[in-house]
Amino acid sequence: MVWLGELLAFIVEEFIKNGGSPVTTQRAFRIRFALGRREAVPVKKTIYRSVSNFRQTGQTLEALKEAIRQEVSAITPEMVLKVMDNYREGTLVYQYSRPPLE
């Protein structure tokens, strides 16, 4: 399941507040978002990874993904066409500049 940045931020805060207990973090998550016993909550691996990412970068993984999305959306179709043209030209030059096999 994909967890949104707000949810991951809650996970990180609860994990730190609860002394590093993933089970207590899961319980707090269930209570905060009014989830039933059988509804999905972040697994321990997701909790540990989210906290680790936060400690290393100062932001959640979703925040990093959003920053990447913004950078990618800044790429214009003209830029893509120019790169494609440059690639094709480079490929054609390489293909035809090789000596023939004997």
Query: What is the domain range of residue 38?
Result: 5-73
Q: How many domains does the chain have?
A: 1
Q: Using an 8 Å Cβ cutoff, are 66 and 9 in contact?
A: no
Would you say residue 91 lies in a domain? no
Would you say residue 63 lies in a domain? yes
Structure confidence by residue, pLDDT tens digits, 12-40:
899 999 899 999 999 999 999 899 888 98
pTM of the prediction? 0.54
Would you say residue 94 lies in a domain? no
Would you say residue 92 lies in a domain? no
Would you say residue 43 lies in a domain? yes
Structure confidence by residue, pLDDT tens digits, 39-89:
989 899 989 988 888 888 776 666 667 777 777 788 888 888 888 887 777
What distances in angstroms separate CA 32 from CA 3, 21, 29, 59, one per listed residue?
A: 15, 16, 5, 21
Would you say residue 20 lies in a domain? yes
Would you say residue 90 lies in a domain? no
